[in-house]
């Protein structure tokens, strides 16, 4: 006969052992009921209150982060719009617009009373951009110091985005001290064709 049957047969013969087993089972059930009644699985009321306060604080922090993220997104969008406006206003559409810049330089030189000289134009890629290249114009001018100062002032106030990168001035010895030769290196930016070529 298997052992489990022997144990059951012994329990049935001895009522004390059976009663002890039943009382032990009831005691265990009472302990489980007491744990459930006095300490729920979600925690006590104080635990739940503390958890609610912590979750409320966490929610406020997340809302503050969300507001910061919204402000950053607005600033990024504003910067993108301003950047596009800047490019539309100051960056020429194509590299073929070099004659437009040259005619404007000639107009400024005439207005300043300066004689334009030799011109060289080159294009260079702008790092980080596939669509924009830098156009560099090296042009000589001849005139009085006052006239050249007026030319620099006109370049500075030009509606185009012209950057005077370099200026070299010299006064020829055979001429009077009134005449000054200046070579200006002017940078501007253009959109369009592949960069890297020189005219």
pLDDT digits (tens, 9 = 90+) for 141-178: 998 888 989 999 998 888 888 888 988 888 776 655 57
The pTM assigned to this predicted structure is 0.56
Instruction: Kindly report the CATH number that applies to the domain delimited by 95-191.
Output: 3.30.70.60
- Three-state secondary-structure class, residue 188: strand
Q: 188: how many CB neighbours lie within 10 A of its CB? A: 19
- Angle ∠(116,186,109) on CA atoms, nearest 5: 25
Domain boundaries of the chain, sorted by first residue: 3-38, 47-90, 95-191
Best-predicted range by mean pLDDT (11-20, 32-41, 65-74, 158-167): 65-74
Please check whether residue 189 is in contact with residue 162, taking contact to mean a CB–CB distance below 8 angstroms: no
Mean pLDDT score, 71-86: 93
């Amino acid at each position: 006969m298997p052992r489990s049957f022997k144990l059951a047969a012994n329990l049935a013969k001895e009522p004390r052992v059976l009663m002890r087993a039943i009382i032990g089972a009831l005691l265990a059930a009472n302990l489980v009921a007491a744990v459930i009644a006095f300490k729920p699985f979600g925690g006590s009321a104080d635990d739940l209150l503390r958890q609610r306060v912590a979750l409320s604080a966490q929610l406020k922090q997340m809302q503050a982060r969300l507001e910061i993220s919204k402000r950053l997104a607005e600033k990024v969008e504003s910067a993108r719009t301003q950047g596009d406006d800047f490019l539309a206003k100051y960056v020429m559409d194509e590299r073929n617009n070099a004659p437009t810049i040259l005619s404007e330089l000639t107009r400024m030189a005439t207005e300043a009373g300066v004689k334009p000289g030799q011109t060289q134009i080159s294009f260079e890629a702008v790092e980080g951009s596939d669509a924009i290249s830098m156009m560099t114009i090296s042009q000589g001018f001849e005139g009085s110091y006052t006239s050249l100062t007026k030319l620099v002032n006109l370049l500075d106030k030009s509606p185009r985005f012209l950057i005077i990168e370099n200026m070299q001035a010299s006064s020829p010895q055979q001429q009077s001290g009134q005449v000054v030769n200046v070579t200006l290196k002017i940078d501007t930016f253009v959109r369009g064709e592949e960069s890297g070529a020189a005219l």
